[in-house]
């Protein structure tokens, strides 16, 4: 099975379309979506429409999806994120708000190899960012390959006798990495709509279960177009600025 993996699209339709255009030239069978379809950028309905139309094999909710659907008061969000969440909740049409409200909490086991979650397998809102959280994620994962998002930075971790090991990606935030049978891995494909590794290109993942490969790919997209939408919508300008620098 070859999975296309999308995470943290964040209402950035320009980035999503660029990813889907290039992914059309890559053989993939099924789609996995790791949550945060909305928040930050200005096209929540277009993004949710597009994701719904593709009928993902598996999808989980992210913290921004919960906020937009009205589950969370977004109290733990910073001011800019909260403003974007409130704008998003008002902009979503009823069907799309219901769709976001219906998304399940992760983790979800996809097949014998893979499970997906938004933040971490033990807590959908946790960030897998340091040795302690990486160890926690390995402990909580129920499949050899746990795919997560939320940090907006593509990474691939394995384990040796001493603990977690960073295996990629390199160079330049992209690359293909091999899995070994009997080992366990954590994989983040990076963010489609708001990358934070200082590279503004959209980031997405591919997993080939037969060949035991995971891959992170990067795609340039018209950042100025996404920025213009953000400014026209009256969203905070910092949300437009950060797209240009990938932060």
Residues that bind Zn ion in the complex, under the rule CB under 5 A? 8, 36
Tokens 């938004």: give the residue. 118
Smallest gap from Cβ 9 to Zn ion, in A, equals: 9
Residue 36 CB, nearest approach to Zn ion (Å)? 4
Which residue number, 14 or 209, has a Cβ lying nearer to Zn ion? 14
* 123 secondary structure, DSSP code: B
Cα–Cα distance for residue pair 78/146, rounded to 1 Å: 28
Q: Which is nearer to Zn ion, 179 or 216 (CB)?
A: 216
Give the residue closest to Zn ion by C-beta. 36
Nearer of residues 8 and 199 to Zn ion, judged by Cβ: 8
Q: Which is nearer to Zn ion, 8 or 126 (CB)?
A: 8
CA 47: distance to chain centroid?
A: 13
Q: CB of residue 83 vs Zn ion: minimum separation in angstroms?
A: 16
Question: Token digits for 192?
Answer: 């489609």
Minimum distance, C-beta of residue 224 to Zn ion, in the bound complex (Å):
22
Query: At its nearest, how many Å lie between Zn ion and the CB of residue 193?
Result: 8
Closer residue to Zn ion (CB): 8 or 197: 8
Exposure of 12 in the CB half-sphere (CA atoms within 13 A): 33
- What ranges make up the beta strands (E) of 69-154? 108-109, 114-116, 145-147
Q: Which is nearer to Zn ion, 17 or 36 (CB)?
A: 36
- What letter would DSSP give residue 44? H
Q: How far is CA 32 from CA 71, 149, 151, 225, 245, in A?
A: 23, 12, 17, 26, 27
- What's the rounded Cα separation, in Å, for the pair 85 and 109? 29
Q: What are phi and psi of 160, to 5 degrees?
A: -125, -165
Q: How far is the CB of 59 from Zn ion (least distance, A)?
A: 14
């Amino acid at each position: 099975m070859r999975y296309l993996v999308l995470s943290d699209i964040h209402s950035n339709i320009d980035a999503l379309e660029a990813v889907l255009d290039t992914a059309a030239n890559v053989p993939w069978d099924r789609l996995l979506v790791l949550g945060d379809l909305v928040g930050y950028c200005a096209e929540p309905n277009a993004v949710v429409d597009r994701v719904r139309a593709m009928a993902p094999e598996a999808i989980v909710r992210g913290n921004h999806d919960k906020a937009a659907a009205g589950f969370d008061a977004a109290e733990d969000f910073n001011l800019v994120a909260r403003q974007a969440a409130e704008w998003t909740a008002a902009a979503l049409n009823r069907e799309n708000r219901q769709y976001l409200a219906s998304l399940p909490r992760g983790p979800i086991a996809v097949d014998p190899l893979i499970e997906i979650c938004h933040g971490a397998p033990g807590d959908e809102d946790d960030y897998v960012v340091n040795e302690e959280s990486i160890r926690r994620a390995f402990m909580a994962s129920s499949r050899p390959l746990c795919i997560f998002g939320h940090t907006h930075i593509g990474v691939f971790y394995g384990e040796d006798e001493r603990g977690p090991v960073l295996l990629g990606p390199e160079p330049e935030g992209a690359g293909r990495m091999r899995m070994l049978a009997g080992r366990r891995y954590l994989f983040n494909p990076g963010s489609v709509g708001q990358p934070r590794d200082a590279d503004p290109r959209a980031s997405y993942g591919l997993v080939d279960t037969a060949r035991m490969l995971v891959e992170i790919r990067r795609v340039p997209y018209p950042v100025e177009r996404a920025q213009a939408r953000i400014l026209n919508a009256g969203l905070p300008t910092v949300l437009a600025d950060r797209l240009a620098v990938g932060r």
